[in-house]
Structures are given as structure tokens and as C-alpha cells.
Amino acid sequence: MLQPEADISLGRLIKNYQFIQSQICSAKVMAVVKADAYGHGAVPVAKSLSKAGIHGFCVALVSEIRELIDSGIQKPILHLGRISSDELDIYETDQIRCTINSAEDIKLLEDYGHQKSIRIMAHLKIDTGMGRLGIRYEEIDSMLVKLSESQHIEAEGVYSHFATAEEKDTKYRDWQLKRFKEVIAKTKTTLPQVEYFHMANSAAVLTCSEAHFNMVRPGISLYGVTPLGKPHDHLLPVMRMKAPVTIIKDFSSGESVGYNRQYMTDQNEKIAILQVGYADGIPVEFSNRGEVEIEGKIYPIVGKVSMDLVAILCRDLKITAGQEAIFWGSDDINLRLETLAGKFEKTIYEFLTGVTKRVKRHYIHE
């Protein structure tokens, strides 16, 4: 089949989850599967992790919640995004937990719970320094009192989010952690029924055991990639992005390859054309700079990455049509996403979430 594919190793996914669980003792894992599980496929990822015994999942959008429910996922799901008044029905089941970000959210939930005669499961988010969603740290006392007086909201958890957990300088991370510990102490006094406290993302799971508490929210690390700048010995890439060779052409010295003639041959060359491009998620920054792996050998990308095609230089190596070229996810450290992110000054998340629906996902069940 002449189209780009992404091999998704569900066996590696489970191994990554098991490694993470081994690092956090008895803390629960809420796997972040937003953005289609970072491009890996939220439904197959969630089904595999459910079978492996994970506690639950985190998503950003209500549409992502509905997708998981419709696929038969029965584990708890935490909605990380903002509550919307026209989507409150999603919280009518005990399976879904909403996030409270403001006093207005409490009133909205309380009124809806009263109207439906139900209790809504919720987690309170505290902005300890991220500067995005969450109630301000200074408002914690009043918010806890409001929740303690609520008749229709069951506060199951309290959480926050690190702004700099992947950075080597831990000063700001530690300041946020100190604030959250103060929040925990106040919560246990005012809302002793709160069961879970969580703050650790992937970076904090790997580098800050003090932040594990009794629940963590790993995302990128589950998929075998770390935000720490270099590959981790115990995390295996889950996605292998690849595309087939469609044709090999002979070029004479002085001919150009691709749009805008960004590559000119300086001798007679063989050029292979791959069926993949930026419409599939291959960054245009790979133009004349990227590399692929075919049968264990590395080939340079030449010319401009176009919408559907990428050219590579064969040199003296033999390539045949139909062979697969790997862009990332191989065992070669130069094709690990941590390496590519540094080389091309992109975030690791851009590579994975940029893989479009044109790319066929091939799920491997080891």
C-alpha cells in the first residue's frame, strides 16, 4: 500500500505504563489521552491501558470524553478543560469527573445537580503558578468553603500543574510544589473527604518523586518519549512513523529536485521519492536537513518537503520501490524524537500530534 503509515506498538505502550507505575509505588495513574492520545489513537490506547489495569484517563474536550464512552471505556475520565453550560449532561454519570476552575463553575454545577437530583464528581484545579486554568492560589480558602457547603458536588480530587518540570533549574518547580502542599493541608482540614491529590506530569513523574502524592498524570512518557531533552533508557517509542519508496530516479549533475530548486545535484545521483509529506505530519524543517532510515541505513532528505512527497539521496546504496523509510521511532538515537526536537527546535508534542488522519495507524499487539 503506497501511503504513509504509523506503526503503534501497544506492547511498548504497556511496558512504558508498567515502568511508570513502578516509579510511583501505589499512586494511581490517570493517563493523558487528549489530542487522540498524542496522535497514537485514543480508543486503542485507552482500551489497551484499561486491560493493563490503569486507573483512568484525562482528556481536554467533551468530544474526547464522548469518543471514549462510545468505544466502551469504563474507567474514570477526568475532563481537564473548562465546564460548558451546554454540555453538563456529560457529568451525569459517576464515570466522568469535571474540573472546577472558578466560583462560577461551582454555582453552575450546584444548580444543575439540584435540577437533576444528582451529585457531580469533580476535581478542583489550583493555579499554583502555571498561569492558565485553575483558581488562583489566593482563593483556595473561599473555594474550599464553597465546596464544603455544596449539596450536589462530590469533590474527589484536588490538582495543579507544573510550568517548568522539565527544566534543570528546579527553583520554580519547587516553589509551585510548596504551594500545592499548602493547598493539600488546607483541603484535608476543610474537605477531608477528598481522596486524590495530583500534580505530576511526565517530567515530574521521572524527576520529582516528592510530587507523586497518590495520583499522577503522565502523557508523553506513556508514548515512550520524554520532555527532558534526551531518550530515557526505560521508555520505548510507541510510534514508528514511516513511508514507502515509490520510485527511484537517475539524476544528472546540475539538475534540481523539488519545489523552488532547493537541492541541486553536483554529480550523477540516484534519488528515491517517498509517498509522504507535510500533509501527513512531516515537518517542512526536514527539507535538506532531515534523515530517514531504510533497512538500518541512514539516508539524507534532499530538496523541499512537499505536501505529498519527500526525496532522499540514495548515494551508492541500493533501494527498491516498496521499501519503508522510517522518519522517527527507530532504535537509532538520531531518529528519536528527543533528538529531532532539539535539532529542529520543535517540541516533541508537535511531531506526534501533527501526524494527520491520512496516515494509516497500524496497531501491533505484542
For the chain, 366 residues long, give each residue's pLDDT as a single digit of tens.
Answer: 789 999 999 999 999 999 999 999 999 999 999 999 999 999 999 999 999 999 999 999 999 999 999 999 999 999 999 999 999 999 999 999 999 999 999 999 999 999 999 999 999 999 999 999 999 999 999 999 999 999 999 999 999 999 999 999 999 999 999 999 999 999 999 999 999 999 999 999 999 999 999 999 999 999 999 999 999 999 999 999 999 999 999 999 999 999 999 999 999 999 999 999 999 999 999 999 999 999 999 999 999 999 999 999 998 778 899 999 999 999 899 999 999 999 999 999 999 999 999 999 999 987
Cell of 21: 507505575
pLDDT at 108: 96
Compute, in degrees rounded to 10, the torsion defined by CA atoms 91, 96, 102, 106.
50
pLDDT at 316: 74
Question: In the CATH scheme, what is the code of domain 10-223?
Answer: 3.20.20.10
Per-residue pLDDT, 202: 97
| Sequence-separated (6 or more) residues with CB below 8 Å from residue 270 | 248, 249, 250, 251, 313, 314, 315, 319
Number of residues assigned to the chain: 366
pLDDT for residue 366: 76
DSSP per position, 110-135: HHHHHHHT--EEEEEEEESSS-SSSE
Cell numbers describing residue 132: 492558565
Domain residues of the chain, as ranges? 10-223, 239-364
pLDDT of residue 318: 83
For the chain, the first-to-last Cα distance in angstroms comes to 23
Give the SS3 label for residue 7. Answer: strand
DSSP single-letter state for residue 306: -
What lies within 8 Å, CB to CB, of 38 at 6+ separation is: 32, 219, 220, 223, 349, 352, 353
DSSP state of 358: T
Question: Homologous superfamily of 239-364 in CATH?
Answer: Lyase, Ornithine Decarboxylase; Chain A, domain 1 (2.40.37.10)
By annotation, the residues acting in catalysis are 34, 259
Q: At what angle do helices 10-23 and 42-51 cross, to 10 degrees?
A: 50
Inter-CA distances, 166 with 161, 213, 223, 265, Å = 12, 18, 16, 42
